[in-house]
Amino acid sequence: MEAASQKRLQNQVAIVTGASSGIGQGIAIRLGQHGASVVVNYHSDEEGAQATKEQIEAAGGKALVVKADVAQEQEVEAMFKAAKEAFGTIDILVNNAGIQKDAALVDMTMEEWQKVIGTNLTGPFLCARAAAREFIAQGIRKDISRAAGKIIFVSSVHDIIPWAGHVNYATSKGGVAMMMKTLAQELAPQQIRVNSISPGAIKTDINREEWESKEGEQKMLSQIPYGRIGEPDDIARVAAWLVSDEADYITGATLYVDGGMTLYPS
Ligand code: NAD
């Protein structure tokens, strides 16, 4: 991974959910390289979270590993408290944690439905609420940022492209798209910016089975005009820019970072 060319996020504190692997890990490392102190949230993969922390520290940044299930209110509250205690403020939330539990509608269990909605939709709500409370109480720290706080949702191209066989996932991301827009409108008067990054196909654990097989890889590539499957850092670079003051006038936007995937009809 190339070094960040400038430290855009010096003295800011970021919470990144699901930062033990994949896109969340990439974002946490990039934010750390840009000078942010990063709360590396994980759910089950402590080793992955420690690896993220080590990479942030190797780049000269600070990191705190915090275990929390984003779907559990008490755990989210405890994570924000730990972040505050360790770093004093919170300036950035990246709602990244997400899961898939695929099944045809007729076979989908309540467990598969509720687990995905809990992690992908309720989790971002709980974290956004905790972050907004903090940002509003804190106000703008003029020496470090023009905004009082920044929230990014890691959504999906499936917040607009339907996805047969994945009704729980596609519904959760459609909900995230509306949550983002509603919160952007609600929080703008308090100078809090809220945006989404919607990835296309990115090589991570969530879709490893697909991209590791030749056939699966070809199928993915056939949906990507730009001709390559994305890497976590393709998303991370955009996230580091979107939470910086360079993007200060952007709120309520969805950036499709997808190699052109959304250009094809579904
Ligand atoms: P991933 O499986 O590597 O990462 C998901 C992370 O979320 C893991 O670290 C996991 O431990 C964590 N997590 C799961 N449940 C959690 C919970 N209850 N509380 C806290 N953390 C939890 O996969 P990824 O591709 O990096 O996924 C990150 C986000 O990107 C997800 O929201 C996913 O929907 C989205 N996304 C991924 C792709 C892709 O192609 N990889 C495409 C579109 C959107």
Q: What is the pLDDT of residues 93-114, one digit of tens each?
A: 999 999 999 999 999 999 999 9
- In the residue annotation, 249 being an active-site residue is answered as no
Instruction: Assess whether the C-beta atom of 156 lies below 6 angstroms from ligand 1.
Output: yes
Instruction: Assess whether the C-beta atom of 251 lies below 6 angstroms from ligand 1.
Output: no
The whole-number average pLDDT for the span 76-90 is 98
Instruction: Assess whether the C-beta atom of 25 lies below 6 angstroms from ligand 1.
Output: no
Longest dimension (CA), the chain: 55
Cα–Cα distance measured from residue 222 to residue 224, given in angstroms and rounded to the nearest whole number: 6
| pLDDT of the residue at 174 | 98
Query: Do strands 192-199 and 63-67 pair parallel, antiparallel, or not at all (unpaired)?
Result: unpaired
Contacts of residue 221, Cβ cutoff 8 Å, sequence gap at least 6: 227, 228, 229
The yes/no answer to whether this complex scores an ipTM above 0.95 is: yes
* pLDDT tens profile 163-208: 999 999 999 999 999 999 999 999 999 999 999 999 999 999 999 9
The whole-number average pLDDT for the span 75-87 is 98
Average pLDDT over the chain, rounded to an integer? 96
Instruction: Assess whether the C-beta atom of 205 lies below 6 angstroms from ligand 1.
Output: yes
How far is the centre of ligand 1, averaged over its atoms, from the C-alpha of 142 (Å)? 33
Name the band, by pLDDT with cuts 50, 70 and 90, for residue 66: very high
**pTM of the full structure:** 0.97
Does residue 4 register a pLDDT over 70? no
Identify the CATH number of the domain defined by range 13-256. Answer: 3.40.50.720
What radius of gyration do the chain's Cα atoms show? 17
Question: Ligand 1: which of 127, 206, 210, 254 to mutate, judged by most atoms within 8 Å of the beta carbon?
Answer: 206
How far is the centre of ligand 1, averaged over its atoms, from the C-alpha of 9 (Å)? 24
What is the SS3 string spanning 137-150? HHCCCCCCCCCCEE
The whole-number average pLDDT for the span 240-254 is 98
| pLDDT of the residue at 266 | 54
| pLDDT of the residue at 264 | 84
Instruction: Assess whether the C-beta atom of 154 lies below 6 angstroms from ligand 1.
Output: yes
The whole-number average pLDDT for the span 155-159 is 98
How far is the centre of ligand 1, averaged over its atoms, from the C-alpha of 169 (Å)? 11
Instruction: Assess whether the C-beta atom of 46 lies below 6 angstroms from ligand 1.
Output: no
If one counts every other C-beta atom within 10 angstroms of the C-beta of residue 191, the result is: 17
Q: Which of 42, 169, 256, 264 is catalytic?
A: 169
Cα–Cα distance measured from residue 17 to residue 67, given in angstroms and rounded to the nearest whole number: 10
| pLDDT of the residue at 5 | 54
How far is the centre of ligand 1, averaged over its atoms, from the C-alpha of 143 (Å)? 33
